[in-house]
Chain A
Amino acid sequence: MRNSLKNVYLIPYCLWILLFVVAPIVLIVYYSLFDIEGNFTFANYANFFTPVYMKMTLSSFWYAFLITLFSLLIAYPAAYLLTKTKHKRLWLMLIILPSWINLLLKAYAFLGIFGTYGAANALLEVLGIGSQQILFTDFSFVFVSVYIFIPFMILPVFNALEEMNAGLIDAARDLGASGWTTFRRVVVPLTMNGVKAGCQAVFIPALSLFMITRLIAGNRVITLGTAIEQHFLVTQDWGMGATIAVFLIIAMAAIMVLTGGRKRGTQA
């Protein structure tokens, strides 16, 4: 009786997985095997390994890597400081608040801020540096992406820091470890899982960013996400779009396995 009831509870879960995880992936793989006229072919896969798409893949990974790196560099100290503050939940909420605002609106706001006559350039003028081209550069692209992804990095790191037993730090200090050693050998290993979760939450979506590449980078940065969007919406070459998506899925799975494999960071 109990067992069968348990199985009933499993139905929604299984249905969900089947409909929204398995079926879409199967469909994507299926579409990737057809060319633009609907003939069965492996040509899309061959096409993916041409210099154009290889270059695009490399640049996608490079930018995703930069975005993740800067997010982590900012988020880790920020999360660390947050755990020390008095009203930490409030401060945390203030950091997460911007993610309630539509992404498109935020991107448009940056068009104004980074524009030739925008606030950022006005500040540079006042500082005597003189106005620069900020919009449509690699810098603006990485900056805005980091801004957008930071909440996803801070949250897991913050939670990991919160869960950590503060007594361990006292113990380390009592046993003669310096501040730096305590951080390196106690805090970092214990929060490694949070860092990994954060990196996954940033790196994976950053790989397939598209709209920001047009709005903020003026299509000077082309990622795999841009190419997918174009193939599905403009050229209607669903086969090629799906093929790129298949490679993204493989890349993401690989990243999950690589970063999530070990239970706890024992190196360091």
Chain B
Amino acid sequence: MKQLVQIFAAVIIFALGLQYLVVYLNAEQGYSGDNTLTVYNWGDYIEPELIEEFEEETGIKVIYQTFDSNEAMLTKIQQGGTTYDIAVPSEYAISKMKEEELLLPIDHSLVPNLKYINPRFLDLSFDRGNEYSIPYFWGTVGIIYNASLLPEGMEFDSWDDLWDDRLDNQILLVDGAREVMGFALNSLGYSLNDTNEEHLQEAKRKLNELTPNVKAIVGDEIKMLLAGEEAGAGVVWSGDAAEIMGENDNLDYVIPKEGSNLWFDNMVIPKTARNIEGAHKFINFMLEPENAARNAEYVGYSTPNQAALELLPEEISEDERFYPDVELTERLEVYRNLGKRMLAHYNELFLEFKMHRK
């Protein structure tokens, strides 16, 4: 009995010690106050020198933390206990955060540099009037392909090219119902926000015919698999494409002519923010054309900042893969929030497509 009590005591002391350590470590790195600013961003998604310059210019100390998925970011902010002053979610996560009232409105008078943003990227369906979010980077969904693995003369300029017989067992798809249903709808000439049941069924039937060409439907591993030449073609987000192309020169990216999805990562101020003034300063700082241009050059994604775009070297700003011309841009669409029921239906159809065997 005595031994049992001793063991119990030891376990409790050990647990309390660990708890103390956790609190201590949290205080050490996560504290936020008047003179610090906690930025919560995707990994490797900012030019590090800009953070230093911001600190010098404003005297605010920046604590930079990273996440690797919108879901992880959402959960952390929902749980509370964090003190993030800035976060950079994608547009669908922004609608969700808005619905759950996790965001603070942005005072536009404190962000004068908003005028540099191309109006095309403002006032979009997920955040009318940009009340809660300011564009950081944007991108598309398209086809990435590895000419060295594909038959001679294969070219991609249309979604229909994916259905080519020569691509047998060569395509990797991202595991996203909106993305996959979206390109099927686009290939039929419909909107990727289409809710017409006949159109959706038609898209699903068309996807079933794609099955022989599909090697796998995967998540983030798609980057590793494509860079490792595991497959000849893939449907990916342009951001991922830029990353893969950085690793393997044989790959090229194209936005199909029928149109595609236009996505955003925007800066927001979560409800947990302590340094709201600093957060506004940071947003404004990042929108400064020169800063935005350097950031875009470092990160490699497409900047929504018109003035910054003009500062970028031509080989970047003229790259139609990442800055498509006006005509094609007109055909890009932002995902509209279709409502839970429609989203469930999209997923149901996507699931049926996944279950369709060769």
Contacts and interface: CB of A to CB of B under 8 A. Distances in A.
Contacts of A133: 169, 215
Interface in A205-238: 214-215, 217-220, 222, 227, 230-231, 233-237
A55 B340 contact: no
Interface string B199-217: 0000000000000000111
Nearest to A59: B355
Interface stretch (B48-56, B60-68, B122-130, B218-226): B218-226
A51 to B, nearest CB: 9
A111 interface: yes
B175 A219 contact: yes
Interface string A76-102: 000000000000000000000000000
Task: Name the residue in B71, B348, B357 with the highest tally of chain A Cβ atoms < 10 Å from its Cβ.
Answer: B348
A59 B177 CA distance: 22
- Please tell me the size bucket of the interface on B: 20 to 34
Contact of B354 (A111, A136, A219): A219
A52 B351 contact: yes
Given A116-B229, A133-B169, A36 B218 contact: no
Given A37-B340, A237-B344, A222 B169 contact: no
Interface string A224-262: 000100110111110010000000000000000000000
A219 B354 CA distance: 7
A142 interface: no
Interface string A94-118: 0000000000000010010001110
Contacts of B217: 214, 218-220
A135 interface: yes
A52 B230 contact: no
A144 interface: no
Contacts of A233: 71
Contacts of A136: 215-216
Most buried by A among B228, B340, B355, B357: B355
A115 B227 CA distance: 12
A217 B340 CA distance: 28
Contacts of A111: 221, 224-225
B355 A55 contact: yes
B325 interface: no
Nearest to B178: A234
A192 to B, nearest CB: 36
Contacts of B71: 233
B352 A230 contact: no
Nearest to B346: A235
B21 interface: no
A83 B221 CA distance: 41
B25 interface: no
B272 interface: no
Contacts of A115: 225, 228, 230
Interface residues of A, number: 30
Contact of B177 (A37, A234, A240): A234
Contacts of B16: none
B358 to A, nearest CB: 8
B230 A215 contact: no
A122 interface: no
B355 A214 contact: no
Contacts of B172: 218
B340 A237 contact: yes
A114 B81 CA distance: 42
B355 A235 contact: no
Contact of A219 (B169, B218, B230, B340): B218
B343 interface: yes
B120 interface: no
Contacts of A219: 175, 216-218, 354
Contacts of A236: 340
Nearest to A38: B340
A233 B357 CA distance: 25
Contacts of A55: 355
Residue among A55, A111, A227, A235 with most chain B CB within 10 A: A235
Contacts of A220: 216-217, 354, 357
Contact of B341 (A36, A59, A217): A36
Given A116-B230, A222-B351, 9 more contacts: A52-B352, A56-B355, A214-B219, A215-B221, A219-B175, A219-B217, A230-B347, A233-B71, A234-B347
For the complex of A and B, the 3 pairs showing the least CB-CB separation, nearest first, are A218-B216, A219-B217, A136-B216
Interface of A: 36-37, 52, 55-56, 59, 108, 111, 115-117, 133, 135-136, 214-215, 217-220, 222, 227, 230-231, 233-237, 240
27 contacts: A36-B340, A52-B351, A52-B352, A55-B355, A56-B355, A59-B355, A111-B221, A115-B225, A116-B229, A117-B229, A133-B169, A135-B230, A218-B172, A218-B216, A218-B217, A219-B175, A219-B216, A219-B354, A220-B217, A220-B357, A222-B354, A233-B71, A235-B340, A235-B344, A235-B347, A237-B344, A237-B347
Interface of B: 71, 169, 172, 175, 177, 215-219, 221, 224-225, 228-230, 340-341, 343-344, 347-348, 351-352, 354-355, 357
